[in-house]
Structure 1
């Protein structure tokens, strides 16, 4: 008779996610995962697959967390430009609080060499672009955004700008500079 799992799948996945988040994919070893997750190697393989499978699950979990963050921030205002500001400021707060981003790390570490990771990152990027594009079109409709701006191009720019917020904070660990970067990004949607 097989034994029941003696651990919480989601909690251990979060532990693995946080380790990948801290160390990156390439620097994280299976021994690191076994030690940090505090489960034996065979249980890890049975529950999550190999290191790459576990990373994909961890990245998916992180992306879901970020997607929820963006949507909750956007829903705090019924004014479209304010909703975008809320999302951008939520990223600023995350950058200062967490000082790192698994999504950003994965873009630079794996997107060019790992097709599955690249596809996950592209899918999430397009989802965020879709959220911003929708809000930008609403802002054009209510007159709070200039009609000469291209909502799709601006949405892509804003999403890539979210990475610049993390990039600034990761490199310089300067909350004031990171906030200035955030405010400059927000300035691109002001009339």
Structure 2
């Protein structure tokens, strides 16, 4: 008779995700994962696959959380530009609280060398761009967006700017500078 799993799959996935988040993919070893997740190696392989499979599952989990964060932040306002500001502020709050970002780390560590990771990151980025483009188009229609920039191009710029919020905080650990970077990004919307 097969043994029941002696651990909570989702809980251990979050533990692995947080380790990859902290150390990065390349610096995380299977021994690190076994020790941190507190499951034996064979259980890890049976439940999650190899290190790469586990990383992809971890990144998927992280992306799902970011989707939820962006969606909840945007829904706090019916005004499109305010919804965008809410999303940007939510990213700033995450950067200040977490001081790291698995998505941002993965862009710089793996996007040029791992096709699967690159495709996941690109898909998620385009999903965020679509959200911002929709809101920017609504803002243009209601007259609150004064910029003559194309909504899609501006959406790409703003989404890439979210990485700058994390980048600033990761490198300088300066809350005031991170807040200023956020305000400059928001200020660029109607320029």
The normalised TM-score by structure 1 is 0.99
Long gaps (5+) in structure 1: none
Residues 141-150 or 4-13, more deviating = 141-150
1:37 — aligned with what? 37
Matches within 5 A, 1:26-175: 26-146=26-146, 148-175=148-175
Residue 146 of structure 1 deviates from its aligned partner by: 1.9
Q: Give the number of equivalent residue pairs.
A: 191
* Kept after mapping to 1: 8 A contact 2:91/2:165: yes
Q: Deviation per CA, 1:1-60, whole angstroms, max 9, x where unpaired? A: 110101100000000000000000000000000000000000000000000000000000
Residues 113-122 or 145-154, more deviating = 145-154
In structure 2, what is the Cα distance between the partners aligned to 1:35 and 1:21? 16
In structure 1, what is the Cα distance between the partners aligned to 2:40 and 2:157? 44
Long gaps (5+) in structure 2: none
1:21 aligns with 2:21: yes
Instruction: Please give the root-mean-square deviation of Cα atoms over the aligned residues, in Å.
Output: 0.7
In structure 2, what is the Cα distance between the partners aligned to 1:48 and 1:158? 35
Question: Which stretches of structure 1, 4 residues or longer, exceed 4 Å deviation after superposition?
Answer: none
Partner of 2:81: helix, strand, or coil? Answer: helix
Residue 147 of structure 1 deviates from its aligned partner by: 5.7
2:7 — aligned with what? 7
1:190 — aligned with what? 190
In structure 2, what is the Cα distance between the partners aligned to 1:18 and 1:155? 29
